Structures are given as C-alpha cells and as structure tokens.
Chain A
Amino acid sequence: MTALLDAPPYAPRDDARFLAEASALTRAHLADCADYARIWPDFMDAATVEDLPWLHVGLFKQIHFRTASPGLTHQRVLRSSATTSGTSSQVALDDKSSALQARSSLAILQDFVGAERRPLIVLDDAGALRQRGQIAARVAAALSLVPLASTTTFALDATRPDHTQWSAIAAALSGAASFLVYGFTWVLWQRWARGAMPDDVRALLRTRRGHFVHSGGWKKLEAEAVAPEVLEHALLDGVASGSQVIDFYGLVEQNGVVFPRCAAGARHVPRWAQIVVRDPWSFAALPPGQPGLLQFINVLAHGAPYHSVLTEDLGQRIAGDCSCGRGGPRFTLLGRVPRAELRGCANV
C-alpha cells in the first residue's frame, strides 16, 4: 500500500483497489487500536465504501486514538486550532503515514500550482515551528508547500503583532519570477491584501506571478462582509498575469488530503481518497445533488483510525464532468451543521 499514489491525483480511479485498501486498513486499526475496536467490534468487511466504519470528528477531541501496528513509529501529535470549547482535535502522526501524506499533499498542490520551486512566504511566525511533540494544523498546512519552495520566509513576528516583515518579503521576491504565499484566510486578507505594503514590494509583485494559497475559514471575513471574490480581487490586483488564489479545505483528521477549490468552484477528491455524503438524521448515503454531512475516507492513515471520518461540515456531491478537466468525485462545501462547535481550521 498504496500504489494509488503512483498516478496523478485526478487520474482515472481504481475504486476496487481503493475499497480493498480501505478495508484492509480498517482491519489493521481494529486489530491494533483497542479504542477503535470498542467502537466497531463487529466489522468484518465492506462491500462498498459506504459500508466502511467511520468515526465522528468530535471523538478526536475526546479520545487520543493510537494504532500500535508492528513497524510503526509514532512521532508528533497533530493538533487542530482552538475551538469554541477550548478543546482541539489530536491526531497521532507516524512515520509511515507522514511519508504517504507528504506525497499526497504535494501531488494535490502541484496539480494546482505547478511543480517549480519558488520562494514561499508564510504569513505566520517562525516560532510556530518550534514545538516539542506536536504540530499545529496551520503549520502542517504551510509545511505541505515547503517541497515546492526554493526558500521559506516566515513573515510575521509574534512579539510584534502588527508588524509584517516586508523587507524579508522583498528579499525573498527579488531574483524570482514567481512566488507562493500561504496564510490563514483572515491573515491573508488582514496582513497582505489590507496590509501597509511598501512601494518596493508592490513594484516587485507587478512583474511576478504568484499563487496565494489559503485555508482556515471565512468566519471573520464574513463578519466584515468580505466575499471570496473581493479577497481574490485584492490579492490579484497588482501581480503579474497567471497569478492565482487557491482556497483549500482540509481537516486535521484527514491530514495529507486537501481539497483546493478548482476554477469551476468544486473540490475534487484524489484517487487515494473518497467522499460519502450522509443524511444528518439517518446517516444513509446520499446521491449527488443532495446536501448532507461529509464523510471522508483515505488510505494513508496508519498511526490512528482517522482514515474514515464523519465531519460536521455540510456539502453535496456534484454529478457529471467538471469543466476544469479534473476527474473523480467532487463536491461543494455548503457550511457547517447548525450549532456545531466552531472549529479553527475547517475552511467553512
């Protein structure tokens, strides 16, 4: 496992292989994770992906699942950002899954931004990298772009909350034809689109092609009545043609599988993952076009049973082919279940 990663993410799918791998992974978690086995004691096999057991994302705040399969070495714990209750999801990362997840996120992001290495500007403090035994979701998101970076510049300073290191950004941009910027959606708006950008940085940007990658939610922007197209216009105004804004949705409980929004407004599922939309009352699987709870399945998660999770996010599958040209299942994100706990990292 898993040869599914050997082809591009939106190449033709091998759904039989996916189901076989997902079923085998489920059995491995049942054998080596007692907490998981207590929840799904009777699972034997799945005839369809809809039959695969799932865990509700809320459980990852309560139980620190860990699958102790032979040969796995657990590393850091991936933590979601704070929620309204002050608790965060915790996912135990391991060496095998981390390698697969790095391949996955790189392949997905390359499909959207290209494979060339270029300066990466992260709108965060480098201090966020310095944590023992854990890694924050926003750092993991930024790190997924590092393999595409020639240099990495963290442009904020936690000790100076209103300060953006524009001179470091200018230094990163000089000598490069293109660049990448990653930040939480709100931070990208506040510090870049609405930031006090010096003239020398504006001049550098005019001749450079950029990809602005953001995640982490629209709540604060909605409060300021900033629509996605307003953010996009603000970011693309003043940079070279061919620049793009990419809004990606991801969950710590699906680490390594991110869902950037394509030009047609859809989010595509790579061939090593699958989506099921479930009725919020009966949990029955719903066909394309019907909104429900999003369940995501992947075959990358070995260190804990986060390979199949039911989220509190609402969406619907889209039937037919996408005008962007990417294949495989796709969906639109509609929001969160009313009264669901607000999350810091889900991009809704």
Chain B
Amino acid sequence: MQLTNLTIRETHQLLITKQLSSVELTQATLQRAHEIDPKIKSYVTITDDLALEQAKQADERIAKGENVTPLTGITFAMKDCISTRGVRTTCSSKILENYVPQYNATVTNKLADTGAVLIGKTNMDEFGMGSSCENSALFNTHNPWDLDRIPGGSSGGSAAAMSAGLASFTIGEDTGGSVRMPAGFCNVTGIKPTYGRVSRYGLISLVSSFDCIGPMTRDVYDCATVLKAIAGHDECDSTTFNSPVPQYHQSIEKSVKGMTIGIPKEYFVSGMEAGVESSIQEAIRTYEKLGMKIQEVSLPNTQYALPVYYLLLFAEASSNLARFDGTRFGLSISENAKDVIDIYLQTRHEGFGDEVKRRIMLGAYALSAGYYDAYYLKAQKVRTLLRRDFETALASVDILLAPTCPTTAFKLGEKTNDPLEMYLSDIYVVATNPAGVPALALPAGFSNNMPVGMQLIGKHLDEQTLFQVGHAYQQVTDWHKQLPKL
C-alpha cells in the first residue's frame, strides 16, 4: 500500500485506529519524497527534522485522544510563498533565496494547530508570475504524468507533489488560476475559495485584491476538510469574512438532482483541444444522468477577462514588490553602492527574473501619469462588468461548469519565448479572481494520456454547493483515482 496515495479520510481512519502512526506515515512520505522528487523537483525545501518532530507530537495527541482533528498527523506540503517561521520561504526567487521568516502565516498557524505535519515547501513561478513553473528562478518542476511536460503554474510544485504522492495534501495559492490550472494538468482536486474566505496574512502578496490560498487534494471530500481547517476570519487580514465557515461535509452527500448547471457559451468557442472538449462534454452528460439540468448561459465580457486580469496584476504587483529593496531582508547587493538608490537598482536587477521585471515595469507604466485612465482605471471599470457577468449568470443557475485550460499540459520550453502566448493559456481561469467568486477544479478525463481538468464556479461564499456538486461527480467517476506511473 502506497500510504501517500490514500485520501486524508482513509489515512485519518488508519491513524485513529492505531493501524498506522504519524511517524510511520511521515517517514514513508519523506522516503518517497527523497526517492521520487529528484525526477519531478516539486520541493524547494524538505523539512525532515521538523516533520518528524511534528509527527511525534501528533502521535502523542492521538494516543491521549486529546484534540484530534481530521488533519492530526496527516502530511502536507506548502507553496513557497506562504511564510513558515524558521523554514526558508523563497517564492522561488533569487531575491528571497535565503530568506527565513520570523513569523508564521495565519494558514501555517492554523495547520500547525490541527496537528498536520509539514513535509516541505514547493516550487512555483517566481512570485506566482507564470503558468508553467518555468519562471522559478531555482529550477523547473516536471509533470508526473510526462516528465517532458510542465506541471502548470504558478502552484506547479504543489500540484506535482500532490499528483506524485509526495504528501497527503498540499497548499497552493490562486491569483488567476494558479491552483486550478496546475491541478487540472496534474490530475488533482483543488479549490480557489471566495476572495476573503482564507486569511492572506503571511502570504507574500502578488495581487492583494485577487490572491486566494487554497488546498490541493486527492478528492473533493478532502478538499472540503482542508478548506474548513484554514478558512475563517482573521484580525490580521481585514478582507476576511466574519461569517462562520460552514460544515461543508454536512451537505456534501446531498443529491444534486434537480439542480442546474450553467454552461458559459463563451468558454466553448474555437481553440480548445479536441480531447479536452470531448472530456468536458462527457462530464456534462454525467451530470445530466445524475438528474441535473443543463442550461446555456452567457458571460459576455469573457474575452476582456485576460487583459483586465493582467493589467491589474501588473499594477498591484509593481506596488507590492516595491518592498524587495535590499535593505531590510532578502538579497542585498551593496558593493560599490554610493547611495541607497544604487542598492535598490543592483539588488532588484540581480534578484528578479525577467518575467517579474516585465510585470513590475509594465505595472508602473500603466499607473503612470497620462496612462492611468486609459489602462488602470479602464480595467477597473471592466472588472465591474466581469463581476456583474457572474452575478447575472449565477442568478439563474446553481453553478457554472468550464474547462480549466484549452489544452493539456504543454512541453517544457514550448511557450517560454513569447510572454503573451504564455498568458493566453490562462484564458479560462483568470475571470474568477477579479470577480472574487470561488471555483473548484477536478479531474475530468484524459486527452492523449494527459489529464484534463474541469472547474465548477459558484456564487460568493458558496463553496458548499461546489463541494456537493464536485463530490457527486467523483462518486460516479474515477478519474481522480488515476495515478501517474513513476
């Protein structure tokens, strides 16, 4: 039995019936990570000693029967943009290559409180800027289904580690598809929650008004378990909702009969790979068999989602990344600096990769005098229209269904020469973030032996319906149970 291929639910059962200890699980996970990960390179840092220490504590909790949660003793990996006290947090950037945070993100604290065991930190596109993990300044991550292909981005390391069974769950972060797109490419389940559902405190910001931390798991049931553990109000993040986090599992088994799925017609135009389209059509038929109604809906401003998303990303990122200046933390290049400006110029020149530089510079350009109205303000207005599109469409249906990407995972190097070409691979996943709505990605089949992902998009704060509808699909399909041969 490959322990890390089990679900959280199955593993929890073994732990509480004392058929397995967390130390045994952790040792098996670490061993597999050291054995398999050199091929995949999903981990930036593996925290062997800390993991075994946390596992021992979890076993004590279980032995005493005190404060045992569904995640006590369960192993996980976290995207390297979420702060972990005492554990290097790089954002896969040279500017933070040796940065060790002095404090934990709220998500890190919440997971530590549940008794989950941190196996390590995972690779990503530098600062989350990319769709393939190839913008990591450290190294490339490979797709476990085909090592010549990319795992998707920016949470590529988290998706690849989950897919390859290198942890029982992983944590990603979705600014414009960065959980869902790699989840689809690597055949795992992942959610981008409603903006404000999960605290961003201690997350190294990319776009403060888009960023959403979300789990990746073996199935929808587990995804609800992890989201329940990390969601909630946080006084350190004033954008978090004060409303209680629902008991997602209470409604997850409820029948979906009579509910309505909306199919956004703008998502089913030209350019989709044939195998992706047929998988999605098959998923729609599966839902019809479950008694759901299918209704075509329109999101009329879909074609503008990508320019709105990237413009606002550039603008917010150029401001957020101003903090990396070589004076208080991170890389600092001060040789021959005659004044502080020289430190900024040298540090940021050496510390940032090309994509990060492009986005910071284009953001400053779009915000600068004379261009502000034409670009930034215009994009914020169209953002209002994008949000209204979702509100209107979701007023007449329960959820929306769409693919996560027009293609399956592409080859390493295939799109690295043309930044714009790379941006276009995000076409189906970016619109949700400017609108703030939640979306659940799940495996929906294969095209030429590579995984196809679909996403369910829901109303604000209605993760419950997403889990219910996603879980119903996984009760009658087994795509999510398919594992790569490694």
**A and B physically associate:** no
